[in-house]
Amino acid sequence: MGAGTGNPTVTTSEFLNTDRWTMLGKASCSRREFVISLRRTPKYEATLPQIVELAEAGSGIDLISRALGIGAEVVRDALQMHRTGTRPSGRVDGRRRQRREPGKLFVPKYRQIASEVDRRRKAGEGFDRLARAMKVSRGTIVRAYDFANRADVAAAAREGRAPTRPPYTWSEESRAARNRPRRSGARNR
C-alpha cells in the first residue's frame, strides 16, 4: 500500500497483474486451474427439493410458503423451474422488488406480530377480531399464526392437508350480542 493513503502502489498493481497465479498462459505441470462461480444461489434453487416434496404431497403454493417461511413468489419460481427445467425470467429491469431501505433489515409485519397473534389466538380470539384490533388484514393474521406454529403447518403440508387451528371461543358477551333480536326496520332506513 502507498504510504498511509490506502491506495495500492504501482509495484502492488504490477505484482497482481504479473504474478504467476494470475498468468494463465505460463502453466507448469504441477499447476491446476479452477473455476469458481461467484453467483449467489437463488432461494428458489436452494429450497427446490423441499418445495417439490410438499407440492407432490398435494399442498398449494400458499401452504408451502407458510410451512417453509418463505414468500409465495419463491415457491412459484421453484415450481416453474421444476416444471420447465429453466430458470424463471426476472423482472423487466432484472431486479427483485426492494422492500427496505438500504442498510435496514426488513422484517415483514406478520413476523413482527406472530407471538402476539399466537398468544391471543390460543386464548380464544378469532382471526377476524384480531385483524380489526391490530388493524391488519385477516390474511396477515393467519400468516402470523402459521409463522408462530411452523412445525404444525409444515407437518400438514407434508401430509397434503390444511393445518388445524384452535376453534374460535365465543365469549358470553359475543353470545349475548348474537342472540339479541335485531330490529327489522333499522337496515332499510
Mean pLDDT of the chain: 76
Question: What are the CA-CA distances from residue 71 to residues 43, 47, 62, 108, 147 (Å)?
Answer: 10, 12, 8, 10, 12
Block residue for cell numbers 429453466 = 86
Is residue 4's pLDDT more than 60?
no
pLDDT tens readout for residues 128-141:
889 999 999 988 99
What pTM value is reported for the model?
0.56
Burial class of residue 145 (count of CB atoms within 10 Å of its CB; 0-12, 13-18, 19+): buried
Query: Above 90 in pLDDT, residue 116?
Result: yes
Residue 189: the pLDDT is 47
d(CA 91, CA 98): 12
Segment among 33-47, 78-92, 135-149, 175-189 with least mean pLDDT: 175-189
Q: Comparing 44 with 92, which gets the higher pLDDT?
A: 44
- With a pLDDT cut of 70, the percent of the chain lying above it is 66
